[in-house]
Amino acid sequence: MESKTDAAWEELLKQNEILAVVDQKGFYDITADCIKKVREPRLMTKFDHHDDLPLPFLKNHLSIMPKSRNLFTISHQQMFSPLKKVGSLFSEKTIPSYIESLKDVRITSEALALNCAYSSGILSDFLDEKGLVPTISGRMSSSAFSFDILNVETKKKDRINVDGSQIEIDGGYEGERYLTLVEAKMSLQPDFLIRQLYYPFRLWSQQVHKPIRLVYLVYSNGLYRLYEYQMKDLFYYNSIAFVGEKNYAVTELQIDKEIMMKAVEAMPVAPEPNIPFPQANCFERVINLLELLAKNDQDRDSLSDEYQFVPRQADYYMNACRYLGLVEKENGRATLSPEGRRLGSLPYKERQLALLQKMGEHRVLRESLLRSLKMGRTVEDREIVDIMQRSHVLNVKSAATLFRRANCVKNWCQWATDIARSDNGH
């Protein structure tokens, strides 16, 4: 089903014969005023991840890049870079005891996540930088500059000239040796928009003499994931290179395996709900969606527009939360259930145990989790399929569908084994 953004771009592409112009010239420049005739430009041009792109862009391998506050160029350029999948190891940090305002606070924004990362020493540890001080942040205009970007159709470099494009820096931190620019996110995704690091990098490389470091920070469910990148070539957008990554937490993340198993066993098995069996492969993103819904109720389009879920993903993850009894849906809008709101207010450890209890109410999840936790590794797909067939899962019949759903269960079990600590502390 099309989202509002999909439909609006479909209309613009037809009205302006954009595809024909791109085929002929290699690009099409479009103004914000032109975009505004069909929908708000902010919603039509803000795509932080590849899957956020509207369907007409995905089908035609299109990209859109800002050249100024009022001008965007549409072409076939490589805007995104894959985000490395982090491991389950983490370092624990603590917020100083004299800081009361950040104690046990719920992280509900990128700004708050950055404040906690700075005050707990996460940023200084990751950067190995002394005298780190927050300096710049917020919206500002880019300088005038040019750069090359890879065209995925021609496999050649295109030239883009930028002048006065709006940029936003979530956090800038200066130490004795470097200025570090940080882009922060509250949503887990497989890639990121290079521009959100590159445009600030080009602006500030003209204004300071110190080397500039680039950090992409993702916060979700008590975990801070930090990635460092560098630009190999100042004038080539796609020269971005991965430097390193590390996980941090300001609370103890791992939980005793025996306690986790008891939480799963504590709940009686409930009848299967008349809701599609989960097909949301990343359980951390299920938790992430609960965090997002704690801010505001959402429909599928608003989830897609504001929180980087494509419509299909929004349905998958929304239904997974409904399957666990944590989200209710009425007239297309999702809201946390009373149980979802209670769970969201719990401290980290209690919240993870409550999630395990909700999974323990479903026979397939229950048996798969208990086997995985007991072995210290996830059960095999074949075992999960056997459990599903014995449990008569709703509307899951074919072998191919069974194995796809089994892969989802396996990934949820992997989340549990990652946070499980054995009796000897390992």
What digits encode the pLDDT tens for the residues 111-162?
999 999 999 999 999 999 989 999 999 999 999 999 999 999 999 999 999 9
Contact 56, 19 (CB under 8 A): no
| Residue 300 clears pLDDT 60, i.e. is over it | no
pLDDT of residue 298: 55
Distances from the Cα of 164 to the Cαs of 160, 161, 199, 247, 318, in angstroms? 13, 10, 11, 35, 39
pLDDT of residue 419: 87
A 10 A CB-CB count for 159 gives 9
Contact 176, 131 (CB under 8 A): yes
375: left (phi over 0), alpha (psi -120 to 50) or beta: alpha
Residue 212: alpha-carbon gap to chain centroid: 25
- Amino acid of residue 124: S
| Residue 106 clears pLDDT 90, i.e. is over it | no
Place of tokens 């065209």: 151
| Residue 252 clears pLDDT 80, i.e. is over it | no
Return mean pLDDT, the chain.
90
pLDDT of residue 301: 57
Q: What is the pTM of this model?
A: 0.81
Q: How far apart are CA 220 and CA 226, in angstroms?
A: 12
- Return the percent helix, strand and coil in the chain, to nearest 5: 40, 25, 35
